[in-house]
């Protein structure tokens, strides 16, 4: 077990360099906590969290080119390709070259992958229950996080905001 470091000097409450004042740390800690809850809930579905996200995209949109799946998930092909390969090996998806464009690979749900949707229907409710938040609070939080993501996507670190979307 790692010991908690002892501060060498008192840090003022208003100090913006305190760890507990960092939004990045709070988001990372929440993400890790969500990962733990999802790991338990998805075990029965035999899915990892990234696989679950791929399934959500395919259940919502149907067959898509790999590039579009990656765009929905904000993943590059180097991360997505091995994930899809494992999912194909598990019989959840099928990848095939597009007959009209040999450069494009399309991802299809298999019958097993489509059927898994029914078993996954309880996951969002169970996640909501785990948060202790009401549905309005969850919608508000998701909306704020989406706004935060758009603002951060719009930042040009060399010259400030790329447009008027500041925080």
45 and 61 both lie in a single domain? yes
39 and 116 both lie in a single domain? yes
The answer to the question of residue 65 being in a domain is: yes
89 and 70 both lie in a single domain? yes
Cβ atoms of 163 and 154 closer than 8 Å: yes
58 and 104 both lie in a single domain? yes
Tell me the residue range of the domain where 89 lies: 24-121
111 and 135 both lie in a single domain? no
80 and 143 both lie in a single domain? no
The answer to the question of residue 11 being in a domain is: no
78 and 145 both lie in a single domain? no
111 and 140 both lie in a single domain? no
Number of domains in the chain: 2
**Assessment of whether the complete model's pTM goes beyond 0.85:** no
89 and 152 both lie in a single domain? no
Quick: pLDDT tens for 22-41: 999 999 999 999 999 999 99
43 and 82 both lie in a single domain? yes
81 and 105 both lie in a single domain? yes
Residue 33 is part of a domain; what is its CATH number? 1.10.10.10
Quick: pLDDT tens for 43-67: 999 999 999 999 999 999 999 999 9
Lowest mean pLDDT segment, chosen from 23-37, 124-138, 147-161:
147-161
The answer to the question of residue 14 being in a domain is: no
């Amino acid at each position: 077990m790692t010991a908690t470091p002892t501060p060498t000097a008192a840090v003022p409450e208003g100090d913006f360099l305190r760890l507990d004042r960092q939004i990045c740390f709070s988001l990372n800690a929440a993400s890790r906590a969500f990962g733990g809850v999802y790991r338990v809930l998805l075990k029965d579905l035999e899915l990892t969290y990234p696989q679950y996200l791929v399934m959500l995209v395919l259940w919502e949109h149907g067959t898509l080119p790999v590039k579009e799946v990656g765009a929905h998930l904000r993943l590059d092909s180097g991360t997505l390709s091995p994930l899809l390969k494992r999912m194909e090996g598990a019989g959840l998806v099928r990848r095939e070259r597009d007959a009209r464009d040999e450069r494009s690979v399309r991802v299809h749900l298999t019958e097993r992958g489509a059927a898994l949707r029914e078993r996954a229907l309880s996951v969002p409710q169970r996640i909501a229950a785990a948060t202790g938040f009401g549905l309005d609070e969850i919608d508000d939080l998701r909306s704020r996080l989406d706004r935060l993501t758009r603002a951060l996507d719009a930042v040009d670190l060399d010259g400030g905001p790329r447009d008027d979307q500041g925080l």
